[in-house]
Amino acid sequence: MGRSAAASKILAPTESHLDYYPFFYSRTPRQLLLQMPVIGQSPKERHHLGNARLHHVTRQVDDVADIRIENCIGFVQVSVGIAGPLQITGPDTEGRYNAPLATCEPMLVASCSRGCKAFNAGGGVQFDVFDDAMSRAPLFGFESPAQAVAFARAVPSFRNDFTRWAEATSKYVRLQGLHASVIGSKVHLFCSYFCGSAAGQNMVSKATQHACEMLR
């Protein structure tokens, strides 16, 4: 099935874009941003974007104390392109946003930008947030289904203790929910946490492990 004329116009790379890439490595990140034909902004807007948001790309990292990784031995340079803009509408935001992509793959930034253009043609992207939680589901095994059911029914009785044990491992983690699911003689204990501004992967693993050990 052939593409429609509208889709072809959105997805097909422009001639100027194809001519652009052979000179990729001879230009600075700011020059690349100003001359990028797929961003969909005027040169003045791209110039402002480059001055406002690319300062951290070209500057040297002098203050090693700001680096938070372990055993830091140095830094590497990766080319960064700007994809977008993408129209996004959500509970607390509405506007057109660009995204930096660190890559050495030609055409990747252009492909993402054309995808954004396709979304924008349909009104952009809309989203909502139903819940904000990081979860873990430790598995408890028993000798019989009857014991598993008894444990699941006892969950509300020890929730306060489980919460206290879990939250004692961090000043940020907060237990939001505790739900048991019985499968035969095994019980999955679904624990959902609020982790503040952190993703909380390690935080909730540590909290859940400690609470389960105390429960034993």
Res 203: pLDDT: 94
- Each residue of 48-58: pLDDT tens digit? 554 555 555 44
Looking up residue 176, the CATH number of its domain turns out to be 3.30.70.420
In a domain, 164, yes or no: yes
In a domain, 48, yes or no: no
In a domain, 150, yes or no: yes
Res 29: pLDDT: 47
What's the domain range around 86? Answer: 80-126
- Each residue of 176-191: pLDDT tens digit? 999 999 999 999 999 9
Res 92: pLDDT: 87
Looking at the structure, do residues 122 and 162 belong to the same domain, yes or no? Answer: no
Is this model's pTM higher than 0.85 or not? no
Res 168: pLDDT: 96
Looking at the structure, do residues 150 and 189 belong to the same domain, yes or no? Answer: yes
- Each residue of 79-88: pLDDT tens digit? 999 999 999 9
Decide which of 126, 145, 162 is a domain's last residue. Answer: 126
**In three state form, how does the secondary structure of 103-144 look?**
CCCCCHHHHHHHHHHHHHHCCCEECCCCCCCEEECCEEECCC
CB 188 within 8 A of CB 181: yes
The DSSP string of 37-93 is TTS-S-HHHHHHHHHHH-HHHHS----GGG--STT--------EEEEEEEEEE-SS-
Looking at the structure, do residues 110 and 138 belong to the same domain, yes or no? Answer: no
In a domain, 176, yes or no: yes
Res 71: pLDDT: 76
What is the separation of C-alpha 152 from the centre of its chain, rounded to a whole number of angstroms?
34
Decide which of 71, 106, 126 is a domain's last residue. Answer: 126
User: How far from each other are the two terminal CA atoms of the chain, in whole angstroms?
Assistant: 61
Looking at the structure, do residues 189 and 209 belong to the same domain, yes or no? Answer: yes
In a domain, 172, yes or no: yes
Looking at the structure, do residues 167 and 184 belong to the same domain, yes or no? Answer: yes
In a domain, 89, yes or no: yes
User: Among 203, 23, 36, 216, which residue's Cα sits nearest to residue 112?
Assistant: 36
In a domain, 107, yes or no: yes
User: Among 106, 100, 104, which residue's Cα sits nearest to residue 85?
Assistant: 100
In a domain, 23, yes or no: no
Res 68: pLDDT: 74
Res 178: pLDDT: 96
Mean pLDDT, the chain, integer: 79
Q: Report DSSP state, residue 22.
A: G
- Tell me the β-bridge partners of 182: 187
